[in-house]
Amino acid sequence: MIITKSPLRITLGGGGTDLASYYSEYEGFLVSAAIDKYVYITLNNNFVKELWLKYSKIEHVTCVDEVQHPIIREALRLVKIQNPWLEITSLADIPAGTGLGSSGSFTTALLKALHMYAGDHIVSTRTLAEEACVVEIEKLGEHIGKQDQYIAAYGGITCMNIRKDGYVWVDPLRISEEHLYNLEDNLAMFFTGYSHSASDILVDQDSKSKEKDATMIENLHQVKQMGLDSKRALECGALDTFAEIMNAHWELKRKRSGGMSNPKIDEWYEYALRNGALGGKLIGAGGGGFLLFYCQDKIKLRQAMAKAGLSEVRFRFDMQGTRVAL
């Protein structure tokens, strides 16, 4: 049996500049952090020539071409596993559609497991991230960026410079241990109860960027600059400044699409700012999922959000990325 796991992620700055419709013209930049919530993949040999897939559905097929799950089908093809006698099962600490990059985590964990099965035990982290992008973006045509695949593969708190040709320069955030612990201790994440499809929400941004919509392009230029500003603030330990940038980023993000927020999410956001949060934003493409806050008074915020009916998911940073768990 092979068991792999990939971390989920939170975006700390620059989110949205990792779509090809933007970076192919202007280059992208963002800061992303992996967290200790995971997608798990298990691979086990079958005794008969059958392929069993267990995720939110169960599939029982005899060849790769019959697989309905698009990511599993394309990953099997990419690794050139044609007629496997396999059982593939996926599990996750947090459900999909909550803005934490679960599809990228699923894809990298699956590819890692398939490479292990095929005997390639030393597939590089970069190869894993690039192959996950090939599966999701090139093969399946999803309207998503490259952040999720890269942060799942690399882990840590990572800066990504995305060139016009799509190459992603990956550098760890140069933050001191003291500032890292302060950041981790003062971030809080609450589930709104709303789920979404990142690809569906990003279609609007993608199409407007391709059309060179001036308002959208200027919005993303400002978001990229805020990503760079967030990097500088985090590296010098100016965490209150980072919180202010989060606020400004959220205001820009809300303007990108009518589906980015809703009145209830806006109400919770303002309520949090009155009860211990210095800054925050909705994680992911928008439309639901998790609200992330940097707190001045975490206990007060926790009590207030619990009173409002929102559940907190506590987390730490993951520094290892996609890996074999067993």
Concatenate the DSSP letters of all residues of 155-199 into one string.
-SEEEEEE-TTS-EEEEE----HHHHHHHHHHEEEEE-S----HH
Instruction: Indicate whether 221 and 123 sit together in one domain.
Output: no
Strands, E assignment, the chain: 2-13, 28-45, 51-54, 58-61, 86-92, 157-162, 168-172, 187-191, 277-282, 290-295, 311-312, 323-324
Mutual angle of helices 125-133 and 102-117, in 10-degree steps? 120
* Average pLDDT across the chain, whole number: 92
Instruction: Indicate whether 164 and 227 sit together in one domain.
Output: no
Instruction: Indicate whether 106 and 169 sit together in one domain.
Output: yes
Helix, strand, coil percent content, the chain, rounded in steps of 5: 45, 25, 35
Nearest to 16 by CA among 162, 154, 152, 140: 162
Instruction: Indicate whether 54 and 168 sit together in one domain.
Output: yes
| pLDDT reported for residue 280 | 96
pLDDT in tens, 60-93: 999 899 999 999 999 999 999 877 789 999 999 9
| pLDDT reported for residue 326 | 80
| pLDDT reported for residue 96 | 86
Which tokens sit at 110? 């699956």
**Please, which pLDDT band fits residue 194 given cuts at 50, 70 and 90?**
low
| pLDDT reported for residue 205 | 58
Instruction: Give the separation between CA 282 and CA 264, rounded to whole angstroms.
Output: 12
Residue 65 identity: D
**What's the structural domain count of the chain?**
2
Instruction: Indicate whether 196 and 290 sit together in one domain.
Output: yes
Domain with residue 132: its CATH number is 3.30.230.10
**Which has more pLDDT, 288 or 323?**
323
Domain with residue 195: its CATH number is 3.30.70.890
Instruction: Give the separation between CA 135 and CA 123, rounded to whole angstroms.
Output: 16
CA distances from 285 to 16, 64, 87, 213 (A): 8, 31, 32, 19
Instruction: Indicate whether 210 and 306 sit together in one domain.
Output: yes
Concatenate the DSSP letters of all residues of 79-93 into one string.
TT--S--EEEEEEES
Instruction: Indicate whether 167 and 184 sit together in one domain.
Output: no
Instruction: Indicate whether 148 and 7 sit together in one domain.
Output: yes
The answer to which of 13-17, 71-75, 171-175 has the lowest mean pLDDT is: 13-17
CB of 295 closer than 8 Å to CB of 277:
yes
DSSP letter, residue 310: P
| pLDDT reported for residue 261 | 82
- Please state, as a whole number, how many other Cβ atoms lie within 10 Å of the Cβ of residue 315: 22
Spell out the long-range contacts of 297-304 with Cβ–Cβ below 8 A and sequence spacing 24 or more.
298/185, 298/186, 298/188, 300/275, 300/276, 301/188, 301/272, 301/275, 301/276, 301/277, 302/188, 303/275, 304/271, 304/272, 304/274, 304/275, 304/276
Nearest to 245 by CA among 74, 31, 26: 31
pLDDT in tens, 206-218: 566 666 778 889 9
Domain assignment of residue 33, given as a range: 2-174+319-324
3-state secondary structure of 205: helix
Percent residues over pLDDT 90 in the chain: 79
Instruction: Indicate whether 42 and 105 sit together in one domain.
Output: yes
Instruction: Indicate whether 111 and 196 sit together in one domain.
Output: no
Instruction: Give the separation between CA 37 and CA 107, rounded to whole angstroms.
Output: 15
CB of 149 closer than 8 Å to CB of 110:
no
Instruction: Indicate whether 170 and 277 sit together in one domain.
Output: no
Instruction: Indicate whether 27 and 82 sit together in one domain.
Output: yes
Quote the pTM value: 0.94
3-state secondary structure of 231: helix
